[in-house]
Amino acid sequence: MSEDLHANSRRRKVVIFVIHLLCLVILFVLPEVLFNYGRPDSHFSVMAYGKATVFVLAFYIEYYLIIPISYVRKNKALPFIGYNILLILAGELVLFLIISWVKAHMPFGNNFPGPHQVFVHQISVIIKDVGMLILTMALALALKITDNWLKIEARSREEETVRKKQELDGLRNQLNPHFLFNTLNSIYALIDISPSRAQGAVHELSKLLRHVLYDNPAFVSLASEAEFMENYVKLQRLRLTDSAKIQLEVNISGFSESLVPSMLFVTLIENVFKHADFTMPAKISLKVEDNCAIFATENKSRGNATSPSSGIGLDNLTRRLALLYGKDAYFNADASGGRFITRLVVPLTKNENTDKTLRN
């Protein structure tokens, strides 16, 4: 992993260098090439390319040396200004030497002003070159600030991803004991009533635990989750009388390999068996519409229950949905008219496109 990060960092630095170089060529070299294209005197080309080279070097000195050692550190404003002044003076000196060489190797006349215009001409050239150097250094500063901002944003996104994964792992670890606690309570209630049923419940629980403890990645196929759901309902039936009415409907034809978060529906099923009055049919259904898994429950409430809350269960479910889907998932729980009604809609994920980091 560390080697991959270093390789990516090196590739990123090379890409940044190339992009900067292309920008500098377009801004400084290409205009000079086009301006001097077709001129018979090669001295103008030497001056143009020489000046462009100075601007390019000034950019990289600013970007890779001056800004890192001064601007990005605290209380380094004065050194930053001082280094830039030195860079401007050095750049002006090199530009002066280039122009002097060109003037020394070509005849005067039409190409350079007469003696009475030398002072004004030199002042205008100096102002122009200083302006170009300042523009070059400002471009380097702007790109460095942008690059640092992008790094901070990327680091923030990475930290947020890690935080979400840790929170999801915590929610999943919290869910398993919650599920086990409720199931053991059900089996405990059977021991005195019907030892044979309790034995069958333990056998069914072993199947569920195999799924929870050994085959429980973050995402599972819809078929696997439906099978787990059916086994859980079968287990809970064992502690009810034969007259209990439970309608379970599963229709996932054509979407059995699509992925959903593991143990997503079990909290809502637990609510049914915790709150339902089974003298009236309790309905549990799972189907697929518009590439979304739609899970729903409906049951008559028992006693004085006024809310479908199951302790940490629904809070856990709501938080998982927010972390995994944001606003793309829909969940509603309603307790009115003596009935509990829940509806959960989540988009299905294709098996081959599931984020591997969430499965581990």
Q: What is the pLDDT of residues 214-231, one digit of tens each?
A: 656 778 889 988 988 888
pLDDT band at 354 (very low <50, low <70, confident <90, very high): very low
How many Å apart are CA 101 and CA 96, to the nearest integer?
9
Same domain, 269 and 337: yes
Same domain, 11 and 89: yes
pLDDT for 222: 92
Whether 172 is in a domain gets the answer no
Residue 320 in tokens: 């998982």
Same domain, 210 and 331: yes
Question: How far is the CA of 187 from the CAs of 184, 240, 269, in angstroms?
Answer: 5, 11, 16
Whether 174 is in a domain gets the answer no
Higher pLDDT, 101 or 113: 101
Mean pLDDT for the stretch of residues 320-341: 87
CA–centroid distance for 221 within its chain = 24
pTM of the model: 0.53
Helix and strand numbers, DSSP H then E, in the chain: 10, 7
Same domain, 221 and 320: yes
Higher pLDDT, 35 or 249: 249
Same domain, 126 and 216: no
Task: Tell me how crowded residue 3 is: count the other CB atoms within 10 A of its CB.
Answer: 7
Same domain, 217 and 153: no
Strand partners, 35: none
Residues of the domain holding 150: 2-157
CA–centroid distance for 360 within its chain = 17
pLDDT at 338 exceeding the cut of 70: yes
Question: How far is the CA of 227 from the CAs of 120, 271, 325, in angstroms?
Answer: 89, 19, 23
Whether 83 is in a domain gets the answer yes
Same domain, 13 and 74: yes
Q: If you count them, how many residues does the chain have?
A: 360
Whether 166 is in a domain gets the answer no
pLDDT for 345: 95
DSSP result, 24-50: HIIIIIHHHHHHHTT-S-HHHHHHHHH
Residue 154 in tokens: 């990327």
Contact 95, 128 (CB under 8 A): no
> Most confidently modeled of 50-54, 211-215, 323-327?
323-327
Same domain, 153 and 217: no
Q: Which residue has the tokens 């949905």?
A: 321
Higher pLDDT, 159 or 155: 155
CATH code where residue 288 lies: 3.30.565.10
Task: State whether residue 284 is helix, strand or coil.
Answer: strand
Same domain, 131 and 220: no
Whether 223 is in a domain gets the answer yes
Same domain, 109 and 31: yes
E strands present in the chain: 219-221, 246-251, 259-261, 282-289, 292-300, 330-336, 339-347
Same domain, 134 and 22: yes
How many Å apart are CA 272 and CA 274, to the nearest integer?
5
The domain boundary, picked from 129, 157, 185, lies at 157
**Total domains in the fold of the chain:** 2
Q: Which residue has the tokens 């080279």?
A: 53
Higher pLDDT, 49 or 58: 58
Amino acid type, 76: K
Inter-residue long-range contacts of 177-180, CB under 8 Å, 24+ positions, other chains counted: 178/267, 178/311, 178/312, 178/313, 178/316, 179/212, 179/263, 179/266, 179/270, 180/209, 180/212
pLDDT for 224: 86
The domain boundary, picked from 107, 137, 157, lies at 157
Whether 284 is in a domain gets the answer yes
How many Å apart are CA 329 and CA 322, to the nearest integer?
8
Same domain, 200 and 327: yes
